[in-house]
Amino acid sequence: MTDSRHALIIANDRYDDQGLKKLKAPAQDAAALERVLHDPQIGDFEVEVVHNASADLMRRRIQGFFNERDRADTLLLHFSCHGLKSESGELYLAASDTEPPLLAATAVPSQFVRGCMYGTRAGRTVLFLDCCYGGAFSRGSTSVRSSGEINALESFAKGEPATGRGWAVITASDSMEYAFEGSQLAENSAPRPSLFTHAVVEGLQTGEADLDADGNVSLDDLYEYVYRQVQEQNPHQTPKKAAELRGELHLAHSRRGRIKIVAVPSPPSLQAAMNSEEFLTRQGAVTELRKRLRRKELPMAEGARQHLEEVARNDIQPIAELASEALSEIHLAPSPRHLDFGRAPQGSPPRKQPVTLYGPPLARHCVAQPQQTWLRVDPTPTGLEVHVDTTTAGHRSGAIVLKGVADEAVIHVEAVVDPVSERNARPPSNGSTAPTRQSHAKRETVTTEPARIPSRPKKPPERTTHQPSPSHRAPTLAGAALALAATSVITLVLALQAAVAAVMARGDAGPTGNVEDDIRDHGALTPLIVCLITGAMALVTGAFARHELGARQEHYTSKATSGTRTLTAVAKGLAIPTLTLAVLAGITYLVGSGHW
């Protein structure tokens, strides 16, 4: 998110007036909403929470929140409290010291909030109102009597803002109404106030609110998601929305977003070659599409990918295999796939480790979605940088899902954060001095990235992420297989030359000659034996190379993978016919030597 983003959450669940019913949801909802809005991977808001404040403090915080803003700011104000209606029909938001008979003096009028919203210089302002009359008063309370419905949306969605690019209001229900049956509250006449905020938190945290799956949760996405969720749980509650916005407002990043690239179709001449009746023409088209797949221009590469997928589905097997081989180059290939941060003291600066993404630009173009709030991912020129938050102690085990244009990959992350009480008993794993205690009063702090500190491995060295990656093993084995196969070919040629010379010598000797002596004299057996040994070793070494590539594919770049497969295929193509000829030559010698 490039703009400055600020959120103010006001949650009141305890009231001095005995007539106001204590609420259960606001405190928990405020904490959950704070976490999801503050998360840099989701909302990326600077968040302030006001809990059980007096009416005077609420007014001060609200006005201060809207003051001194500019057009680059996006503001989000959330209320979770009781809503009260005056005799004149105006909506008031209850504070901890609100007295229902004295609403103008002890509660916050909607007109005050509306004035702050429309007077701010912030570019965009969003108001979430999660309060209703149902259940607002204790049983037997007669301090306030029912006076009909009030439309909460109309209390805020009036007039035009003086500055900025627009505003939006989303309320938990279409109208807020309280009802009594004599002195008994008809509590079943109204919904639970936690449904709305819970749906907001769930939609943002899981990414389910990203209805169009574009990687962002817009205001319209969130409203539609919340509307459906609330209606499913309580058909009597209908969230409402009013907005005057220029352009689309993105409230959060989505953890479920997929990569979307507008493809540039391949040239008509290339498409015509793909549909040609000639085998070689279609083969050449696949080769050209493979080149376009590696281009830096992502729309062009995406167009080539879509055409290659069509070829892989519809063409004959040899052409389809070529297309599938080309498509394998854009599979996600992060390295390493397992990050172990070792031990870290609670409250220490966030740990970080790099992850390299291999392959052409289209393969490296992906969305990183941390599945836990203590994980953060930043892009780097070569891939990603993973950060682990050390605020909370305990064993951490999480995952980062990478979603690309072709497939998905998962990076597993582990860390152990030692409690504060253990700092003196166990020195920091990186040998540095213990960090200063961080304040947890607010979640608005900005952490700076320290220099990378090597972590102590929890497990044997072969399991740690700092072990050198065997990224050259498979290509080396493939090269050795090719060298052995070439040796077998050379020695077979030498053996055959010696055998021909021996046969000619046997013919010149006449009846007194012996073919076995001639074979030994010309040294035909030695190169034949070497040929058999090196040919067999070439096949075995190539098999090891393919096994290594399949078992540790994530450690190899697409270039190394393609090179390994090519070398092993050539080695196999040389070794098998060479061994076949060598075996036939050996059988011929064993069977025929006694008769010559």
Over residues 524-574, the pLDDT tens digits come to 788 889 999 998 999 999 888 888 877 776 677 777 777 888 888 898 889
pLDDT at residue 216, rounded to an integer: 82
Comparing 251 with 194, which gets the higher pLDDT? Answer: 251
- Mean confidence (pLDDT) of the chain: 78
Q: Are residues 343 and 321 in the same domain?
A: no
Residue 252 has pLDDT above 90, yes or no: no
Residue 403 has pLDDT above 50, yes or no: yes
Q: Are residues 125 and 217 in the same domain?
A: yes
Q: Would residue 263 count as lying in a domain? A: no
Q: Are residues 142 and 215 in the same domain?
A: yes
Residue 431 has pLDDT above 90, yes or no: no
Mean per-residue pLDDT for 33-50? 90
Q: Are residues 501 and 377 in the same domain?
A: no
Comparing 7 with 462, which gets the higher pLDDT? Answer: 7
Distance CA 446, CA 470 (A): 38
DSSP summary character for residue 554: G
Last residue of a domain, one of 199, 229, 253: 253
Q: Are residues 129 and 161 in the same domain?
A: yes
Q: Would residue 349 count as lying in a domain? A: yes
Q: Which of 149-153, 382-386, 531-535 has the lowest mean pLDDT?
A: 149-153
Mean per-residue pLDDT for 249-257? 76
Q: Are residues 139 and 227 in the same domain?
A: yes
Q: Would residue 436 count as lying in a domain? A: no
Residue 70 has pLDDT above 50, yes or no: yes
Comparing 500 with 318, which gets the higher pLDDT? Answer: 318
Q: Are residues 323 and 340 in the same domain?
A: no
Over residues 434-457, the pLDDT tens digits come to 344 333 333 333 333 333 334 444
At 17, list the tokens. Answer: 């007036």
Distance CA 187, CA 202 (A): 26
Highest mean pLDDT among 49-63, 232-246, 450-464: 49-63
Q: Would residue 261 count as lying in a domain? A: no
Q: Would residue 435 count as lying in a domain? A: no
Q: What is the pTM of this model?
A: 0.47
What CATH number should be reported for the domain holding residue 381?
A: 2.60.40.10
If we measure between CA atoms, which residue out of 159, 78, 169 comes closest to residue 124?
A: 169
Last residue of a domain, one of 307, 330, 353: 330
Q: Which of 6-15, 144-153, 580-589 has the lowest mean pLDDT?
A: 144-153
Q: Which of 330-339, 381-390, 525-534, 549-558 has the lowest mean pLDDT?
A: 549-558
Q: Which of 21-30, 94-103, 214-223, 303-312 has the lowest mean pLDDT?
A: 21-30
Q: Are residues 52 and 115 in the same domain?
A: yes
Q: Are residues 487 and 503 in the same domain?
A: yes
At 211, list the tokens. Answer: 């209805």
The torsion defined by the Cα of 190, 194, 196 and 201, in degrees rounded to 10, comes to -170
Q: Are residues 210 and 276 in the same domain?
A: no
CB 130 within 8 A of CB 77: no
CB 50 within 8 A of CB 58: yes
Q: Would residue 441 count as lying in a domain? A: no
Last residue of a domain, one of 330, 358, 379: 330
Q: Are residues 228 and 298 in the same domain?
A: no
pLDDT at residue 96, rounded to an integer: 93
Mean per-residue pLDDT for 198-219? 83
What CATH number should be reported for the domain holding residue 11?
A: 3.40.50.1460
If we measure between CA atoms, which residue out of 370, 352, 368, 371 comes closest to residue 449?
A: 352
pLDDT at residue 202, rounded to an integer: 87
Q: Residues 6 or more apart from 273 whose CB is under 8 A from it?
A: 281, 282, 284, 285, 288
Distance CA 235, CA 144 (A): 27
Residue 112: which domain range? 4-253
Q: Which of 96-105, 116-125, 205-214, 562-571 has the lowest mean pLDDT?
A: 205-214
For the chain, what is the domain count?
4
Q: Would residue 9 count as lying in a domain? A: yes
Q: Are residues 272 and 366 in the same domain?
A: no
Residue 86 has pLDDT above 50, yes or no: yes
Residue 336: asked if its preceding bond is cis (omega within 30°), the reply is: yes
pLDDT band at 521 (very low <50, low <70, confident <90, very high): confident
At 551, list the tokens. Answer: 């078992």
Q: Residues 6 or more apart from 556 whose CB is under 8 A from it?
A: 333, 358, 471, 474, 475, 549, 564
Q: Would residue 170 count as lying in a domain? A: yes
Residue 167 has pLDDT above 90, yes or no: no
Over residues 581-596, the pLDDT tens digits come to 988 888 877 776 655 5
Q: Which of 174-178, 259-263, 459-463, 485-489 has the lowest mean pLDDT?
A: 459-463
CB 173 within 8 A of CB 191: yes
- Phi/psi at 247 (nearest 5 deg)? 85, 180
Q: Which of 56-60, 255-259, 388-392 has the lowest mean pLDDT?
A: 255-259
Q: Which of 168-182, 276-290, 455-469 has the lowest mean pLDDT?
A: 455-469
